[in-house]
Structure 1
Amino acid sequence: MQNINTFNIQRAILKDLNLLQEISINTFAATFSSSNSAENIAGYIEKNLNLQQLALELNNPNSHFYIAYANAEAVGYIKINFSDAQTEKIAGNTLEIHRIYVLQSFHGKSIGQLLLDKALHIARDAKCENVWLGVWELNHKAIQFYNKNSFIVFDKHDFMMGNDKQTDLLMKLSLLN
Protein backbone atom coordinates (compact mmCIF):
# COMPACT_ATOMS: atom_id res chain seq x y z
CA MET A 1 0.00 0.00 0.00
CA GLN A 2 1.44 3.30 -1.13
CA ASN A 3 1.61 6.12 1.39
CA ILE A 4 0.62 9.51 0.01
CA ASN A 5 2.61 12.26 1.68
CA THR A 6 1.81 15.16 -0.60
CA PHE A 7 -1.25 15.77 -2.70
CA ASN A 8 -2.23 18.61 -4.98
CA ILE A 9 -4.57 19.44 -7.83
CA GLN A 10 -3.51 21.55 -10.80
CA ARG A 11 -5.45 22.88 -13.78
CA ALA A 12 -4.45 20.96 -16.91
CA ILE A 13 -2.97 22.77 -19.87
CA LEU A 14 -2.20 21.65 -23.41
CA LYS A 15 1.20 20.20 -22.47
CA ASP A 16 -0.71 17.74 -20.23
CA LEU A 17 -2.60 16.25 -23.18
CA ASN A 18 -0.64 12.97 -23.37
CA LEU A 19 -0.92 12.54 -19.62
CA LEU A 20 -4.70 13.07 -19.76
CA GLN A 21 -4.97 10.50 -22.52
CA GLU A 22 -2.91 7.94 -20.61
CA ILE A 23 -5.01 8.34 -17.46
CA SER A 24 -8.22 8.28 -19.52
CA ILE A 25 -7.42 5.08 -21.37
CA ASN A 26 -6.07 3.24 -18.31
CA THR A 27 -8.99 4.24 -16.12
CA PHE A 28 -11.71 3.67 -18.70
CA ALA A 29 -10.40 0.24 -19.65
CA ALA A 30 -9.88 -0.84 -16.03
CA THR A 31 -13.37 0.28 -15.03
CA PHE A 32 -15.46 -0.97 -17.94
CA SER A 33 -13.61 -3.85 -19.68
CA SER A 34 -15.03 -6.59 -17.49
CA SER A 35 -18.62 -5.60 -18.41
CA ASN A 36 -18.22 -4.70 -22.09
CA SER A 37 -16.82 -6.30 -25.22
CA ALA A 38 -13.22 -5.60 -26.20
CA GLU A 39 -14.50 -4.19 -29.51
CA ASN A 40 -16.82 -1.70 -27.78
CA ILE A 41 -14.10 -0.59 -25.35
CA ALA A 42 -11.59 -0.13 -28.18
CA GLY A 43 -14.13 1.78 -30.27
CA TYR A 44 -15.01 4.12 -27.41
CA ILE A 45 -11.35 4.82 -26.67
CA GLU A 46 -10.58 5.41 -30.36
CA LYS A 47 -13.52 7.82 -30.80
CA ASN A 48 -13.61 9.66 -27.47
CA LEU A 49 -10.16 9.46 -25.90
CA ASN A 50 -7.93 10.19 -28.88
CA LEU A 51 -5.53 13.15 -28.68
CA GLN A 52 -7.52 15.26 -31.15
CA GLN A 53 -10.79 14.86 -29.19
CA LEU A 54 -9.11 15.49 -25.84
CA ALA A 55 -7.40 18.60 -27.27
CA LEU A 56 -10.79 19.93 -28.44
CA GLU A 57 -12.18 19.40 -24.95
CA LEU A 58 -9.13 20.92 -23.26
CA ASN A 59 -9.29 24.00 -25.50
CA ASN A 60 -13.00 24.56 -24.88
CA PRO A 61 -13.27 27.59 -22.55
CA ASN A 62 -16.34 26.01 -20.88
CA SER A 63 -14.52 22.76 -20.01
CA HIS A 64 -11.84 22.55 -17.34
CA PHE A 65 -9.57 19.64 -16.47
CA TYR A 66 -7.83 19.34 -13.10
CA ILE A 67 -5.12 16.73 -12.55
CA ALA A 68 -4.57 15.14 -9.15
CA TYR A 69 -0.98 14.50 -8.12
CA ALA A 70 0.09 12.25 -5.25
CA ASN A 71 3.76 12.47 -4.36
CA ALA A 72 4.24 14.37 -7.67
CA GLU A 73 2.74 11.46 -9.67
CA ALA A 74 -0.38 12.12 -11.76
CA VAL A 75 -3.00 9.72 -10.42
CA GLY A 76 -6.29 11.01 -11.80
CA TYR A 77 -8.26 13.95 -13.07
CA ILE A 78 -11.64 15.60 -13.13
CA LYS A 79 -13.30 17.23 -16.12
CA ILE A 80 -16.03 19.77 -15.47
CA ASN A 81 -18.29 21.48 -18.00
CA PHE A 82 -20.15 24.77 -17.90
CA SER A 83 -22.76 26.23 -20.24
CA ASP A 84 -22.83 24.80 -23.78
CA ALA A 85 -20.01 22.31 -23.07
CA GLN A 86 -22.40 20.27 -20.92
CA THR A 87 -23.53 16.98 -22.41
CA GLU A 88 -27.19 17.58 -21.48
CA LYS A 89 -29.28 20.75 -21.29
CA ILE A 90 -30.09 21.17 -17.60
CA ALA A 91 -32.14 24.17 -16.50
CA GLY A 92 -30.48 26.84 -14.40
CA ASN A 93 -26.87 27.71 -13.67
CA THR A 94 -25.31 24.25 -13.42
CA LEU A 95 -21.93 22.57 -13.52
CA GLU A 96 -21.49 19.10 -15.02
CA ILE A 97 -18.92 16.68 -13.70
CA HIS A 98 -18.15 14.91 -16.97
CA ARG A 99 -15.38 12.63 -15.70
CA ILE A 100 -13.71 11.69 -12.47
CA TYR A 101 -10.95 9.28 -13.43
CA VAL A 102 -8.62 7.88 -10.76
CA LEU A 103 -6.05 5.21 -11.57
CA GLN A 104 -7.15 1.90 -10.08
CA SER A 105 -4.01 1.56 -7.96
CA PHE A 106 -5.05 4.78 -6.17
CA HIS A 107 -8.67 3.83 -5.44
CA GLY A 108 -9.51 4.03 -1.74
CA LYS A 109 -7.00 6.81 -1.08
CA SER A 110 -9.58 9.68 -1.08
CA ILE A 111 -8.38 11.10 -4.41
CA GLY A 112 -11.84 10.87 -5.97
CA GLN A 113 -13.25 12.73 -2.96
CA LEU A 114 -10.63 15.46 -3.25
CA LEU A 115 -11.40 15.88 -6.95
CA LEU A 116 -15.13 16.01 -6.24
CA ASP A 117 -14.54 18.59 -3.51
CA LYS A 118 -12.56 20.68 -6.02
CA ALA A 119 -15.51 20.62 -8.44
CA LEU A 120 -17.95 21.58 -5.69
CA HIS A 121 -15.71 24.47 -4.64
CA ILE A 122 -15.56 25.72 -8.24
CA ALA A 123 -19.35 25.36 -8.59
CA ARG A 124 -19.98 27.35 -5.41
CA ASP A 125 -17.56 30.07 -6.54
CA ALA A 126 -19.47 30.22 -9.86
CA LYS A 127 -22.75 30.47 -7.90
CA CYS A 128 -24.12 27.32 -9.55
CA GLU A 129 -27.48 26.04 -8.37
CA ASN A 130 -26.70 22.38 -9.03
CA VAL A 131 -23.85 20.05 -9.83
CA TRP A 132 -24.84 17.08 -11.94
CA LEU A 133 -23.31 14.04 -13.63
CA GLY A 134 -24.14 10.88 -15.51
CA VAL A 135 -23.08 7.49 -14.21
CA TRP A 136 -23.61 4.04 -15.73
CA GLU A 137 -26.37 2.26 -13.84
CA LEU A 138 -24.13 -0.81 -13.38
CA ASN A 139 -21.23 1.19 -11.89
CA HIS A 140 -22.40 0.49 -8.34
CA LYS A 141 -19.17 1.67 -6.71
CA ALA A 142 -19.48 5.11 -8.34
CA ILE A 143 -23.20 5.38 -7.54
CA GLN A 144 -22.46 4.57 -3.90
CA PHE A 145 -19.75 7.26 -3.85
CA TYR A 146 -22.12 9.88 -5.26
CA ASN A 147 -24.94 8.84 -2.91
CA LYS A 148 -22.52 9.23 0.01
CA ASN A 149 -21.91 12.78 -1.22
CA SER A 150 -25.69 13.55 -1.27
CA PHE A 151 -26.22 13.28 -5.02
CA ILE A 152 -29.68 12.04 -5.98
CA VAL A 153 -30.97 10.47 -9.19
CA PHE A 154 -33.19 12.87 -11.14
CA ASP A 155 -33.34 11.32 -14.60
CA LYS A 156 -31.62 8.87 -16.94
CA HIS A 157 -30.48 8.73 -20.54
CA ASP A 158 -29.25 6.20 -23.06
CA PHE A 159 -25.53 5.85 -23.66
CA MET A 160 -24.18 3.91 -26.62
CA MET A 161 -21.12 1.80 -25.89
CA GLY A 162 -20.42 0.70 -29.43
CA ASN A 163 -23.41 -1.43 -30.40
CA ASP A 164 -24.62 -1.83 -26.80
CA LYS A 165 -27.32 0.56 -25.56
CA GLN A 166 -26.73 1.24 -21.87
CA THR A 167 -28.42 3.48 -19.32
CA ASP A 168 -26.75 6.29 -17.43
CA LEU A 169 -28.36 7.63 -14.29
CA LEU A 170 -28.33 11.41 -14.07
CA MET A 171 -27.55 12.51 -10.54
CA LYS A 172 -27.45 15.99 -9.03
CA LEU A 173 -26.51 17.82 -5.90
CA SER A 174 -28.33 21.03 -5.06
CA LEU A 175 -26.07 23.83 -3.85
CA LEU A 176 -28.99 26.05 -2.81
CA ASN A 177 -28.83 25.88 0.99
Structure 2
Amino acid sequence: MTGMTWTITPEPYDSPAAAALWRAYYTEVSDRWYLLHQGHRTGPDELERQIAADTGAELAPPHGQLLVGRYDGTPAGSAGVRLLDPDTAELTRVFVAEGMRGRGGAALLVAAAEEAARALGARRIVLDTRGDLVEARALYARLGYTETGPHNTDPYAEHWFRKELPPAPAPDATSDPAGSVS
Protein backbone atom coordinates (compact mmCIF):
# COMPACT_ATOMS: atom_id res chain seq x y z
CA MET A 1 0.00 0.00 0.00
CA THR A 2 2.56 2.53 -1.06
CA GLY A 3 1.60 6.17 -0.88
CA MET A 4 -0.85 5.92 2.01
CA THR A 5 -0.20 8.64 4.55
CA TRP A 6 -1.43 10.20 7.75
CA THR A 7 -2.90 13.70 7.82
CA ILE A 8 -3.68 15.28 11.17
CA THR A 9 -5.97 18.29 11.42
CA PRO A 10 -7.98 20.12 14.06
CA GLU A 11 -11.55 18.90 14.23
CA PRO A 12 -14.62 20.06 16.17
CA TYR A 13 -15.08 17.74 19.16
CA ASP A 14 -18.66 17.04 18.08
CA SER A 15 -18.03 16.31 14.39
CA PRO A 16 -19.18 12.90 13.09
CA ALA A 17 -15.56 11.71 12.74
CA ALA A 18 -14.63 12.87 16.26
CA ALA A 19 -17.78 11.30 17.74
CA ALA A 20 -17.11 7.96 16.03
CA LEU A 21 -13.48 7.92 17.22
CA TRP A 22 -14.55 8.86 20.79
CA ARG A 23 -17.06 5.99 20.78
CA ALA A 24 -14.43 3.52 19.52
CA TYR A 25 -11.85 4.76 22.05
CA TYR A 26 -14.20 4.72 25.03
CA THR A 27 -15.64 1.32 24.11
CA GLU A 28 -12.16 -0.19 23.90
CA VAL A 29 -10.77 1.21 27.17
CA SER A 30 -14.01 0.60 29.06
CA ASP A 31 -14.28 -2.99 27.82
CA ARG A 32 -10.66 -3.63 28.80
CA TRP A 33 -11.35 -2.35 32.34
CA TYR A 34 -14.58 -4.32 32.74
CA LEU A 35 -13.02 -7.52 31.38
CA LEU A 36 -10.05 -7.17 33.74
CA HIS A 37 -12.02 -6.26 36.86
CA GLN A 38 -15.47 -7.78 36.36
CA GLY A 39 -15.01 -10.48 33.72
CA HIS A 40 -17.38 -9.00 31.14
CA ARG A 41 -17.59 -6.17 28.62
CA THR A 42 -19.20 -2.85 29.43
CA GLY A 43 -22.98 -3.06 29.51
CA PRO A 44 -24.68 -1.13 26.69
CA ASP A 45 -26.55 1.24 29.03
CA GLU A 46 -23.38 2.06 30.97
CA LEU A 47 -21.48 2.58 27.73
CA GLU A 48 -24.07 4.99 26.33
CA ARG A 49 -24.32 6.89 29.63
CA GLN A 50 -20.55 7.40 29.87
CA ILE A 51 -20.07 8.34 26.22
CA ALA A 52 -22.86 10.94 26.51
CA ALA A 53 -21.50 12.29 29.82
CA ASP A 54 -18.08 13.19 28.39
CA THR A 55 -18.85 15.39 25.40
CA GLY A 56 -15.32 16.62 24.82
CA ALA A 57 -16.39 20.28 24.98
CA GLU A 58 -13.21 21.06 26.96
CA LEU A 59 -11.28 20.27 23.78
CA ALA A 60 -12.75 23.25 21.94
CA PRO A 61 -10.77 26.43 21.28
CA PRO A 62 -9.69 28.74 22.77
CA HIS A 63 -8.59 26.51 25.69
CA GLY A 64 -8.37 23.16 23.95
CA GLN A 65 -7.96 21.40 20.63
CA LEU A 66 -9.06 18.05 19.28
CA LEU A 67 -7.05 16.55 16.45
CA VAL A 68 -8.19 13.79 14.11
CA GLY A 69 -5.72 11.66 12.21
CA ARG A 70 -6.82 10.33 8.86
CA TYR A 71 -5.01 7.50 7.15
CA ASP A 72 -5.43 7.79 3.40
CA GLY A 73 -8.43 10.03 4.09
CA THR A 74 -10.19 7.71 6.55
CA PRO A 75 -10.60 8.88 10.18
CA ALA A 76 -8.30 6.54 12.10
CA GLY A 77 -7.15 8.26 15.30
CA SER A 78 -7.44 11.21 17.63
CA ALA A 79 -5.65 13.19 20.31
CA GLY A 80 -6.78 16.15 22.34
CA VAL A 81 -5.27 18.80 24.56
CA ARG A 82 -6.84 21.18 27.04
CA LEU A 83 -5.30 23.84 29.20
CA LEU A 84 -5.29 23.11 32.92
CA ASP A 85 -3.59 26.43 33.65
CA PRO A 86 -1.79 28.95 31.42
CA ASP A 87 1.42 26.86 31.38
CA THR A 88 0.06 23.30 31.53
CA ALA A 89 -1.94 21.32 28.99
CA GLU A 90 -3.38 17.87 29.48
CA LEU A 91 -3.07 15.28 26.72
CA THR A 92 -6.17 13.14 26.37
CA ARG A 93 -8.10 10.87 23.99
CA VAL A 94 -4.98 9.52 22.29
CA PHE A 95 -6.36 6.70 20.18
CA VAL A 96 -5.62 4.86 16.95
CA ALA A 97 -8.25 2.50 15.58
CA GLU A 98 -7.27 -1.14 15.91
CA GLY A 99 -6.88 -1.81 12.19
CA MET A 100 -4.67 1.26 11.76
CA ARG A 101 -2.14 0.55 14.51
CA GLY A 102 1.50 -0.06 13.70
CA ARG A 103 1.61 2.63 11.00
CA GLY A 104 3.14 5.43 13.06
CA GLY A 105 -0.10 7.28 13.73
CA ALA A 106 0.11 7.43 17.53
CA ALA A 107 3.48 9.21 17.58
CA LEU A 108 2.29 11.64 14.90
CA LEU A 109 -0.90 12.39 16.84
CA VAL A 110 1.03 13.01 20.07
CA ALA A 111 3.52 15.28 18.26
CA ALA A 112 0.64 17.25 16.72
CA ALA A 113 -1.02 17.50 20.14
CA GLU A 114 2.23 18.82 21.63
CA GLU A 115 2.31 21.50 18.91
CA ALA A 116 -1.33 22.37 19.62
CA ALA A 117 -0.52 22.66 23.35
CA ARG A 118 2.41 24.94 22.57
CA ALA A 119 0.13 27.07 20.35
CA LEU A 120 -2.24 27.39 23.33
CA GLY A 121 0.69 28.76 25.36
CA ALA A 122 1.54 25.63 27.35
CA ARG A 123 5.11 25.02 28.46
CA ARG A 124 4.44 21.50 29.71
CA ILE A 125 2.04 18.70 28.98
CA VAL A 126 0.69 16.15 31.45
CA LEU A 127 -1.44 13.04 31.12
CA ASP A 128 -2.73 10.10 33.06
CA THR A 129 -3.39 6.51 32.10
CA ARG A 130 -4.28 3.17 33.61
CA GLY A 131 -1.91 0.37 34.50
CA ASP A 132 -3.50 -2.09 32.07
CA LEU A 133 -2.94 0.26 29.12
CA VAL A 134 0.66 -0.90 28.77
CA GLU A 135 0.86 0.12 25.10
CA ALA A 136 0.03 3.72 26.03
CA ARG A 137 2.60 3.78 28.83
CA ALA A 138 5.29 2.44 26.48
CA LEU A 139 4.38 5.03 23.84
CA TYR A 140 4.61 7.94 26.26
CA ALA A 141 7.96 6.76 27.65
CA ARG A 142 9.31 6.34 24.10
CA LEU A 143 8.19 9.88 23.25
CA GLY A 144 10.06 11.44 26.17
CA TYR A 145 7.36 11.60 28.84
CA THR A 146 8.50 11.05 32.42
CA GLU A 147 6.36 9.27 34.96
CA THR A 148 5.52 11.60 37.87
CA GLY A 149 3.26 11.80 40.87
CA PRO A 150 -0.47 12.40 40.52
CA HIS A 151 -1.68 15.69 39.07
CA ASN A 152 -5.37 14.81 39.41
CA THR A 153 -7.73 12.60 41.39
CA ASP A 154 -9.21 10.58 38.52
CA PRO A 155 -10.26 7.29 40.15
CA TYR A 156 -9.13 5.28 37.10
CA ALA A 157 -5.71 6.95 36.74
CA GLU A 158 -2.82 4.81 37.95
CA HIS A 159 0.12 6.41 36.13
CA TRP A 160 0.82 10.08 35.50
CA PHE A 161 3.28 11.50 32.98
CA ARG A 162 4.77 14.89 32.20
CA LYS A 163 6.85 16.42 29.44
CA GLU A 164 8.38 19.86 29.22
CA LEU A 165 7.69 21.42 25.85
CA PRO A 166 10.58 23.21 24.18
CA PRO A 167 9.81 26.84 23.33
CA ALA A 168 8.39 27.53 19.91
CA PRO A 169 11.09 28.58 17.45
CA ALA A 170 11.61 32.33 17.30
CA PRO A 171 10.20 33.97 14.18
CA ASP A 172 12.78 34.39 11.45
CA ALA A 173 13.75 38.08 11.30
CA THR A 174 14.28 37.79 7.55
CA SER A 175 10.59 36.98 7.10
CA ASP A 176 9.53 40.37 8.55
CA PRO A 177 7.25 41.83 5.87
CA ALA A 178 8.52 45.33 6.71
CA GLY A 179 12.07 44.12 6.17
CA SER A 180 13.41 45.83 9.28
CA VAL A 181 14.72 44.65 12.62
CA SER A 182 14.95 47.01 15.60
TM-score (norm 1): 0.75
> Superposition pairs for residues 4-153 of structure 1, below 5 Å?
5-13=4-12, 17-36=15-34, 37-39=40-42, 43=46, 45-50=47-52, 53-54=54-55, 56-57=57-58, 59=60, 61-83=62-84, 93-153=87-147
Letter of the structure 2 residue corresponding to residue 172 of structure 1? R
SS at match of 1:49: helix
Letter of the structure 2 residue corresponding to residue 46 of structure 1? E
User: Aligned pairs, how many?
Assistant: 161
Give the drift of 1:40.
6.4
CA contact (8 A) 1:95 1:132 kept: yes
Give the drift of 1:126.
4.2
Q: 1:113 to 1:42 in 2, by over 3 A?
A: farther
Distance in 1, Cα, partners of 2:62 & 2:72: 29
CA contact (8 A) 1:30 1:104 kept: no
Distance in 2, Cα, partners of 1:172 & 1:112: 17
| Structure with greater helix share of residues | 1
Distance in 1, Cα, partners of 2:153 & 2:120: 29
Give CA deviations for 1:112-168 in whole Å, capped at 9, x if unaligned.
1101110122233444221111111221111011011111111235544xxxxx443
Q: 1:38 to 1:113 in 2, by over 3 A?
A: same
Letter of the structure 2 residue corresponding to residue 34 of structure 1? R
Q: Which residue does 2:163 correspond to in 1?
A: 173
| Structure with greater strand share of residues | 1
Q: Which runs of no fewer than 5 residues in structure 2 stay unpaired?
A: 35-39, 168-182
CA contact (8 A) 1:94 1:128 kept: yes
- Highest CA radius of gyration, 1 or 2? 2
Letter of the structure 2 residue corresponding to residue 11 of structure 1? P
CA contact (8 A) 1:48 1:54 kept: no
Q: 1:48 to 1:80 in 2, by over 3 A?
A: farther
TM-score (norm 2): 0.73
Q: 1:58 to 1:83 in 2, by over 3 A?
A: closer
CA contact (8 A) 1:32 1:41 kept: no
Give the drift of 1:55.
6.2
Distance in 1, Cα, partners of 2:154 & 2:43: 12
CA contact (8 A) 1:81 1:96 kept: yes
Percent pairwise identity? 14
Distance in 1, Cα, partners of 2:49 & 2:2: 36
Q: 1:31 to 1:96 in 2, by over 3 A?
A: same
